[in-house]
């Protein structure tokens, strides 16, 4: 088991004052707290930071840690400590009677020093039953899966608390039905698939938050789907029947004459089949044929005869 340098974790010196330790912790918490940081490593990083702070902010724990830290250098002492830990009596030998943050998951190193938090009885008494923790997971799905329904595999971890208080983290994966019409941000609840209950308590639930993957063609707002449709200038000006892709397959769109750039055509009910179903919005995007040849340039020159002033509102 490796030694954890809590001072290094918090970026403070071994002689740091309580104030410096608090400052060091706060700075890192702001950066790495999973609720505030987008970093996927945030949860893991914060675990270390939180544990370091819990030890160093408490004068009793800090004293124990400092002593242990200097003794750690001696290999023999380390062996002794580990032997005692295995026999289960370590925590009480050190005589640590302080309090624990009972909701936290501690490293093996911490538990070697301070004993198992749950053994100390701070959390569970023998006959006490506890419902298992709910698990929050999230997965990204392609828009097509929301449109047609599908199945996805989801990976998550649950925590199991044995009667002796040891917590084991168990990876799980399930094949889950993605219901047709589910919107981004909605959650699916799988009852009983969360962490197992303690001492016969019921299992927690698994909540899966659905998020849409970024799509190259479609963008979504709520249940409405937006698609950019490139058209030629004459199609927009004179009108046209255009075959275009949609999540439900190709559709024939009747583009009215005199359509302007950015015009939105609403296809009711053709969005995400949620309750109620969303709409499909086709956004017209007029593209100019490139003016890189004589023929094109001639046509554009001719267009000048239309005497069209686009900046009429600018007073120009």
Partner 1 sequence: MSNQIEKVYEGVVVDDDEYISLIHLCRYCNQSQEEIVELVDEGILEPIGSLKHEWRFNYSAITRVKKVRRLQKDFEFELSTSGLVIHLLDRIEELESRLFNLGC
Is the dihedral angle over the CA atoms 69, 71, 76, 77 positive or is it negative? negative
Query: Which among 68, 81, 78, 71 has a CA at the least distance from the CA of 6?
Result: 68
Token couple for 306: 């239309």
Near partner 1 by CB under 8 A: residue from 39, 101, 105, 301: 101
Rounded to a whole number of angstroms, the minimum distance from the CB of residue 32 to partner 1 is 10
Residue 260 to residue 286: CA distance in whole angstroms: 8
Q: Does 297 sit near partner 1 (CB under 8 A)?
A: no
Q: Does 29 sit near partner 1 (CB under 8 A)?
A: yes
Near partner 1 by CB under 8 A: residue from 52, 220, 272, 284: 220
Q: Does 256 sit near partner 1 (CB under 8 A)?
A: no
Q: Does 28 sit near partner 1 (CB under 8 A)?
A: no
Q: Does 171 sit near partner 1 (CB under 8 A)?
A: no
Alpha helices in 38-107 (DSSP H): 42-57, 59-72, 75-86, 90-94
Do 123 and 117 touch, CB atoms closer than 8 A?
yes
Q: Which residues between 148 and 167 bind partner 1 (CB under 8 A)?
A: 151
Near partner 1 by CB under 8 A: residue from 72, 94, 96, 207: 207
Token couple for 268: 């009711």
Please say which residue, 184 or 246, places its beta carbon nearer to partner 1.
Answer: 184
Near partner 1 by CB under 8 A: residue from 62, 219, 248, 263: 219
Rounded to a whole number of angstroms, the minimum distance from the CB of residue 55 to partner 1 is 15
Residue 49 to residue 61: CA distance in whole angstroms: 15
Residue 211 to residue 193: CA distance in whole angstroms: 20
Q: Does 19 sit near partner 1 (CB under 8 A)?
A: no
Rounded to a whole number of angstroms, the minimum distance from the CB of residue 95 to partner 1 is 27
Counting Cα atoms < 13 Å in the Cβ hemisphere of 289 gives 12
Please say which residue, 55 or 220, places its beta carbon nearer to partner 1.
Answer: 220
**Residues contacting 266, CB < 8 A, separation 6+:** 279, 280, 281
Binding residues with partner 1: total (CB under 8 A): 37
Q: Does 20 sit near partner 1 (CB under 8 A)?
A: no
Rounded to a whole number of angstroms, the minimum distance from the CB of residue 179 to partner 1 is 6
Query: Which among 172, 152, 67, 163 has a CA at the least distance from the CA of 114?
Result: 67
Which residues bind to partner 1, rule: CB under 8 A?
Answer: 26, 29-30, 33, 35-36, 46, 50, 101, 103, 131, 134, 136, 151, 174-177, 179, 182, 184-191, 193, 206-208, 214, 219-221, 226
């Amino acid at each position: 088991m490796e030694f954890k340098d809590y001072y290094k974790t918090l970026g403070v010196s071994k002689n740091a004052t309580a104030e410096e330790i608090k400052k060091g912790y706060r700075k890192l918490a702001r950066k790495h707290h999973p609720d505030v940081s987008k970093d996927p490593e945030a949860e893991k990083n914060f675990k270390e930071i939180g544990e370091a702070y819990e030890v160093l902010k408490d004068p009793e724990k800090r004293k124990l840690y400092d002593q242990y830290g200097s003794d750690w250098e001696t290999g023999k002492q380390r062996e002794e400590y580990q032997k005692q830990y295995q026999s289960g009596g370590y925590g009480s030998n050190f005589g640590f009677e302080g309090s624990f943050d009972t909701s936290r998951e501690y490293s093996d190193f911490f538990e070697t020093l301070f004993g198992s938090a749950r053994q100390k009885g701070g959390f569970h008494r023998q006959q006490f039953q506890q419902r298992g923790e709910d698990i929050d997971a999230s997965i990204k799905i392609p828009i097509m899966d929301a449109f047609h329904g599908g199945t996805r595999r989801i990976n998550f971890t649950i925590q199991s608390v044995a009667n002796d208080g040891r917590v084991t983290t168990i990876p799980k994966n399930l094949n889950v039905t993605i219901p047709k019409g589910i919107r981004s941000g909605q959650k699916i609840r799988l009852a009983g698939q969360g962490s197992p209950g303690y001492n016969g308590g019921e299992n927690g639930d698994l909540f899966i938050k659905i998020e849409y993957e970024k799509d190259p063609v479609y963008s979504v707002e709520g249940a409405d789907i937006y698609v950019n449709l490139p058209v030629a200038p004459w199609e927009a000006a004179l009108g046209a029947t255009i075959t275009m892709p949609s999540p439900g397959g190709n559709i024939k769109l009747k583009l009215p004459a005199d359509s302007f750039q950015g015009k939105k055509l609403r296809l009711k009910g053709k969005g995400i089949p949620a309750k109620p179903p969303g709409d499909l919005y086709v956004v017209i995007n007029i593209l100019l044929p490139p003016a890189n040849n004589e023929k094109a340039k001639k046509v554009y020159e001719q267009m000048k005869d239309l005497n069209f002033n686009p900046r009429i509102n600018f007073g120009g």
